[in-house]
Structure 1
Amino acid sequence: MTAGRVRPPPSLRETAVAVARAQGLYLYDKKEDYNAWLAFSIVFNSTARRITLNLMGADIIAEKTRDISVVGGTGDFFMSRGVATLRTDAFEGFTYFRLQMDIKLY
């Protein structure tokens, strides 16, 4: 995961400074359409402390924007609640893709 937006052309091989990584599950759950269910933690790169943010929900890939629930976290994000709005930024075949994520915490 990188901060800000990677500039065009949209290629999944572009390099940018990583600020976090996502680790968890992304499961395709339907035969007729490409839909998925996800549950993952965003683990931020910090030498001072371990900070995570947890997301969970249905990712209806055909929609232009999708809202995923923020269901918790650790460190500065302990017991966080909010919404992560996802947009598909780039595709590379059926296997690799890049998502743009805007996170709002309440």
Structure 2
Amino acid sequence: MQGLIIIIKPSSSKLSSSLVVVVAAMMLLLGLAGVAHGGGRRRLVVSSNEDEPCRRMTVYYHDILYSGNNTANATSAAVTRPAAALSTSRWANGTYFGLLVVFDDLVTEEQALASEPVARAQGFYFYDRKEALNAWMAFSLVFDSAAYRGTLNLMGADLMAEETRDLSIVGGTGDFFMSRGVATLSTKAIEGAFYFRLKMDIKLYECYV
């Protein structure tokens, strides 16, 4: 505790011993409180090999875009209308350029939408290329389960023409405190313009354990 000065002027050796015991007990309780809040109990592990992350998991991200008649099931919604000169009705040029989508998407352990949920993906993506389908994403994976609690924060270009593409993991909280790494995305399903499923292979190279 910074700024705390304890001055003891005992009148007897017995009083001195009692005060020492009290002070020691106080410092022990303060130390335990720090541990209870994560202070001093974690150590940083940094992977030195790209093939050996300090933590790895695979999850599936499901995006159900609001279509106008799927209010109960939709988990994302477009919040911008692209300029007509660049993207006409139904975005005939196929790039969705200028479309911004905000989402609160389900993340599951297995591919099926009805499988065990492990997190929510909360954030946004927007289509940012006129010549081809391409997006940029920024979101948090919010975990609240028996296995994990906390968040992972991801951001970067989703190069949709590529079979696999990487997003940067730039930090985290809770069980993922200050984690850094890479999430490799691959598209596993597309159903029209209103549903897609991504496989996310998460590899952390800086972990506090």
In the alignment, the residues of structure 1 paired with residue 174 and residue 124 of structure 2 have an alpha-carbon distance, to the nearest angstrom, of 22
Give the match for residue 123 of structure 2: 24
Alpha-carbon separation, structure 2, partners of 1:30 and 1:94: 17
Quote the Cα distance in structure 1 between the aligned partners of 2:187 and 2:152.
20
Letter in 2 for 1:75: G
> Residues 68 and 89 from structure 1, CA distance in 2 versus in 1: closer, same or farther, beyond 3 angstroms?
same
**Are 1:58 and 2:157 matched, yes or no?**
yes
1:31-70 to structure 2, matched below 5 A, reads: 31-46=130-145, 50-70=149-169
Unaligned runs of 5+ in 1: 8-13
For residue 2 of structure 1, what is the aligned residue in structure 2? 108
Q: TM-score, normalised by structure 2?
A: 0.45
The 1:51/1:87 distance shift into structure 2, 3 A limit, reads same
CA deviation after TM superposition for structure 1 residue 62, in Å: 0.7
* Structure number, greater radius of gyration: 2
Query: How far does the alpha carbon of each residue in 1:63-94 deviate from its partner, in whole angstroms, 9 at most, with x for none?
Result: 00001100001111111110000000100112
Unaligned runs of 5+ in 2: 1-106
Identity %, equivalent residues: 68
Aligned to 2:177, which of 71, 75, 78? 78
1:45 deviates by: 2.3
- Return structure 1 stretches of 4+ with deviation > 2 angstroms: 45-50
2:193 is matched by which residue type in structure 1? F
Instruction: Give the structure with the higher percent helix.
Output: 2
RMSD: 1.8
Paired letter, 1:6? Q
SS of the residue corresponding to residue 32 of structure 1 reads coil
**In 2, distance between residues paired with 1:53 and 1:84?**
10
**Residue type matched to 1:85 in 2?**
T
The structure in which a higher percent of residues are strand is 1
Whole-Å separation in 1 of the counterparts to 2:108 and 2:190: 17
Q: Is the 8 A contact 2:167 2:184 kept in 1?
A: yes
TM-score, length basis structure 1: 0.85
Paired residues of 2:187 and 2:196 also in contact (CA < 8 A): yes
Cα gap change, 1:59 to 1:48, in 2 (>3 Å): closer
Post-superposition Cα deviations, 1:24-44, rounded to whole Å, max 9, x if no partner, equal: 011111122110000000001
